[in-house]
Amino acid sequence: MSAGRVLRSAFTTKLYVTVLVAIVLGAVLGFVAPGAGASLQPLGTGFISLIQMLIAPVVFCTIVTGIASAGELTSVGRVGVKALVYFEVLTTVALILGLVVMDLVRPGSGIHADPGSLKLSGSAQQYVQTGESQHWYDFLVNVIPKTVVSAFTDGNVLQVLLVAVLFAIAVKALGERGAPLVRGIERVSDALFGIVKLVMYLAPLGAFGAMAYTTGKFGASTLASLGGIVVLFWATGIVFCLVVFGVVARLCGIRILKLYRYFKDELLITLGTANYEAVMPQLMRKLEHLGAPKRIVGLVVPSGYAFNGDGVCLYLGFASLYIAQAFDVQLSLWQQIGLLAVFMVTSKGSAGVAGAGFVILAATLSTTGAVPVAGIMLVLGIDRFLSTMRGLVSLCGQMLGSIVVSRWEGVFDLDRARKVLSGQDPAGAPETVPAARDSFGSGLGAGAGSGT
């Protein structure tokens, strides 16, 4: 087969290839024609919105069917506790790493910014107002929706999680009478994943629009002024994903680079859109295919979108100390430990909150008073570039969450996982997007996908 035919085949059948090409083209357009690139924002936001509209019902159906097949309810509680322990440990490590790197490198030193010269405006002022109204216990209170329906209409994953768990427990208590209901929800779940498959046709278009908008609006001038912290944050994020997650993966008996290769489609979509929630449905399917039981994936992944803030926590350590260094504020070890303790609480339950990183940062700085909250203006312009790495780090944490808990429970199919990650897939990988050359109907039924 000629090289041209191989390239054409890869472009039309492999999602990661088309997304990668779309990202490159979007970046080129944004730099060459910033105005045109910035005008393509609706392509990226539209694609993300299409996926987000499906997250709540997918989470509900997956959790209900997972718990219904989980055996004793005590096992559900045990899985939930183990998931929270995993997320808490990894987010704490991310916070500590962010603080340590900033203490060693000190990229904000020498700026000598004047707090009085910075005035909050626009989105920054909204973030601060939202942050100042936050309390440490808000994420607990906000778990409870105003109504059952509002949990779905507001798109709050944590609220949907609560409704789904309560509903699943109630259905399980019905015994045999609840079995038809569970089977019906399984059919609905299959239909929802069919919709996801259709929407994923638009992933390259969404990635193209999002990258063109980012480079067009926040391109060269922004990176030139604050490029140092962007590069440092990305480098630290990559090290965290390779080293910290690499150690976790090895403890589970798998290799981290092979895992990233398996999830390359999801990583590239997150890179292009700076939103890792957009890949949640197919992430769950591919984790099940890898060897993690559906009942664990169905509980751990949605929980992770509320409690897994690896990327956000890494960002919080960076941003808080960068602002302090820029204002020549010397934080003692105990003050940094205090910030760490507050961040460990305020970083939870941020899923579904617009500008979650900024809201948490503003809330914590307002609470402690150690660093001027107006300093968030210093990082507002580069937040888009930081948010991309935040999403990638958090997505990598999500990949491992179900695997860790499954291994902890002793139910992870390690032999199957190793075969899948090595390309010796025993049953054909779950499809992320149908092959572009297939017809509409046959594409939906194709067995081989791009996940391996």
d(CA 7, CA 382): 35
d(CA 335, CA 126): 26
The most distant pair of C-alpha atoms in the chain lies apart, rounded to whole Å, by 69
Report in angstroms the alpha-carbon separations of 431 from 12, 29, 59, 279, 448: 14, 30, 19, 13, 6
Architecture of domain 3-434: Orthogonal Bundle (1.10)
Predicted pLDDT at 332: 78
Report in angstroms the alpha-carbon separations of 415 from 141, 282, 400: 42, 22, 16
Contact 33, 216 (CB under 8 A): yes
Q: Which of 327, 318, 398 is nearest to 111 (CA)?
A: 327
d(CA 416, CA 422): 10
Residues in the chain: 452
Contact 418, 254 (CB under 8 A): yes
Q: Which of 441, 448, 433 is nearest to 18 (CA)?
A: 433
105 pLDDT higher than 90: no
Contact 404, 252 (CB under 8 A): yes
Q: Which of 17, 18, 41 is nearest to 29 (CA)?
A: 41
pLDDT tens digits, one per residue of 149-182: 887 877 666 777 788 888 888 887 887 788 888 8
d(CA 398, CA 396): 5
Report in angstroms the alpha-carbon separations of 370 from 132, 325, 331, 450: 14, 12, 8, 49
Domain residue limits, the chain: 3-434
Percentage of the chain modeled with pLDDT above 70: 67
Report in angstroms the alpha-carbon separations of 114 from 82, 109, 328, 371, 386: 46, 13, 9, 12, 24
pLDDT tens digits, one per residue of 380-432: 656 677 778 888 898 898 889 889 999 998 888 898 999 898 877 655 555 55
pTM score of the predicted model:
0.68
pLDDT tens digits, one per residue of 123-143: 445 544 454 555 555 556 667
Q: Which of 101, 94, 103, 97 is nearest to 332 (CA)?
A: 103
The gap from C-alpha 254 to its chain's centroid, in whole angstroms, comes to 21
Go through 259-271 and write b for each residue having 16 or more CB atoms within 10 A of its CB, e for each that does not. bbebbbbbbbbbb
Contact 349, 158 (CB under 8 A): yes
d(CA 173, CA 11): 49
Contact 278, 52 (CB under 8 A): yes
d(CA 112, CA 123): 24
| pLDDT band, residue 279 (cuts 50/70/90) | confident
What is the DSSP-derived secondary structure letter of residue 430?
A: P
Q: Pick 110 or 449 by higher pLDDT.
A: 110
Across all residues in the chain, what is the average pLDDT?
74
Predicted pLDDT at 127: 46
Q: Which of 317, 227, 257 is nearest to 267 (CA)?
A: 257
Tally of CA atoms within 13 A in the half-sphere of 323 that contains its CB: 24
Predicted pLDDT at 257: 92
Predicted pLDDT at 7: 44
Predicted pLDDT at 2: 53
Give the mean pLDDT of 435-440: 36
Q: Which of 164, 407, 409 is nearest to 302 (CA)?
A: 164
Give the mean pLDDT of 211-219: 72
Q: Which of 3, 34, 401, 32 is nearest to 217 (CA)?
A: 34
Q: Pick 90 or 336 by higher pLDDT.
A: 90
Tokens describing residue 127: 């973030």
Predicted pLDDT at 444: 32
d(CA 44, CA 204): 10
d(CA 284, CA 298): 7
Tally of CA atoms within 13 A in the half-sphere of 46 that contains its CB: 14
